[in-house]
Amino acid sequence: MDSKNYILIVVEGLRAEPQIIKSLRKHYFDKNVIIEAVYGTVLYHLYAKLFSNGILDEDLDFLQILKENCSSISDNLNRQNVSEIYLFFDHDGHATNASHKKILEMLKYFDNETENGKLYVSYPMVEALRHSGKFSKVTMIAKIKENKMYKQRVSKDSLKKYVHYGKYTFKTWKFLVQQHSKRVGYIQQNIFKPLWRDIAQLEIYENEYKKYIRIKKEVFIISAFPIFLVDYFGYKKFFMK
């Protein structure tokens, strides 16, 4: 493989996420070389590959694990070719192997895109991106026990212009970044306004856990992808006219 610096994006699912990445590539990353890899299962499966009895295996090669699970990654790809790694997974609190400790460890380990990689989590799952329109502290709640029905709920509640990821425009993404930034502001400070500062994924999760998951067995609906965009490009690109 050549000496180009690639951006490696690892996603959980085979259907929705590749469409989203295609849209992001079209509108924002056309000058970068993106390698997309579908992991194909939940975050907690990846945790089991990295941690043994709750202890990180320091000798494991994360890129090699991905090669073994993602057919789209060339055997010739090495860490020197990859400048940034981003991972997009669902919270999937209903999964039988889900746990608070596991997601904490994963967010701590994957906290820097130029080192181990940076993990972004959608609450409750990737379809949170389509769950847009009018929102409030009541309508933006998803009960974990109802996760299996969440896709149907999104299909019913979402505005038509947000249903098809392939039809997203710059204007669509700008709106989604603004809305989900306000949602992050709400779970942090109980007000629907952006925080105008960098927000670590671990900080978002800790508020989700403290205010929703631990007490009420629910999550406040937030998509990882708009938060990734504001992290990458800054607030000004999406909030200034």
Running DSSP on this structure, what letter comes out for residue 5? P
- The token pair at 107 is 């967010």
Q: Where are the domains of the chain?
A: 6-239
- The token pair at 154 is 């999104």
Per-residue pLDDT of the chain (241 residues; tens, 9 = 90+): 455 689 999 999 999 999 999 999 999 987 678 889 999 999 999 999 999 888 998 888 899 999 988 888 888 888 888 999 999 999 999 999 999 999 999 999 999 999 999 999 999 999 999 987 666 666 899 999 999 999 999 988 888 888 899 999 999 999 999 999 999 999 999 989 998 888 999 999 999 999 999 999 999 999 999 999 999 999 999 998 7
| Amino acid of residue 131 | H
- Stated pTM of the model: 0.94
Running DSSP on this structure, what letter comes out for residue 222? B
In this structure, what are the phi and psi dihedrals at residue 185, rounded to the nearest 5 degrees?
-60, -35
Percentages of the chain per state (helix, strand, coil), in multiples of 5: 50, 15, 35
Q: How many residues does the chain have?
A: 241
Q: What string of DSSP letters covers 33-81?
A: -EEEEE--S-HHHHHHHHEETTEE-TT--HHHHHHHH-TTS-TT--GGG
